[in-house]
Amino acid sequence: IKSAGGSLLTEIEIFDVYTGSNVADDKKSIAYSLTFADNKKTLTDDEVNNLMNKVMDNVCKKFGAEIRK
């Protein structure tokens, strides 16, 4: 996650891990919070959305994750 988010990804926090109903026995649901910041300027929505897409693509490819939306 950190490598995909780059230097603008300043904090990663897992706040929930769930196994149980509606999740396959060999899977778990992991919820995390990401904080992006740039000390020189305010990030735009497009910049953050592009970074989030990179992170999500990386997690899907590296771990075979499925993103719930």
What's the pTM value of the predicted model, to 2 decimals? 0.83
How high is the pLDDT of residue 5? 94
Supply the pLDDT for residue 29: 94
Q: Is the pLDDT of residue 69 over 80?
A: no
For tokens 């992170």, the residue is 55
Give pLDDT tens digits for 2-55.
999 999 999 999 999 999 998 889 899 999 999 999 999 999 999 999 999 999
Structure tokens at 46: 């497009």
CB 35 within 8 A of CB 11: yes
